Structure 1
């Protein structure tokens, strides 16, 4: 996939509120190296709960 389409896809996901799983994986690798990251399904559910009334407001740090 070309960089243009990757950017377009990322923008479309952000417009509908779908978070970037790859950015989450980078964050976990850089800031929480001792913790296993959530799989894609668990990550999506976690972000939905945080956006629509989850318990912790979606903050990790």
Structure 2
């Protein structure tokens, strides 16, 4: 493998890690990881669509439907 390709691959990996970390900090999980987890551990369940997953994570972040009293705004 050429050094330039190795560097490019490492930069791509670093970029993905930074993006994944940023998404987690703002409450947005990794849909691909979620879908893989559901398929592997819950084969009888269909995974949420990407939009449903986004809304679910957004609702969890802002306490929508939460009866413990947390509200963002």
TM-score past 0.5 threshold: yes
Larger Rg belongs to: 2
Q: Select which of 5, 12, 17 maps to 1:7.
A: 17
TM-score scaled by length of structure 1: 0.73
TM-score scaled by length of structure 2: 0.63
Q: Select which of 21, 25, 29 maps to 2:35.
A: 25
Change (3 A) 1:55 1:30: farther
Instruction: Count matched residues.
Output: 56
Q: CA deviation at 1:44?
A: 0.8
Alignment RMSD: 1.8
Q: Which runs of 5+ in 1 are unaligned?
A: 57-61
**Residue aligned with 1:33, SS:** coil
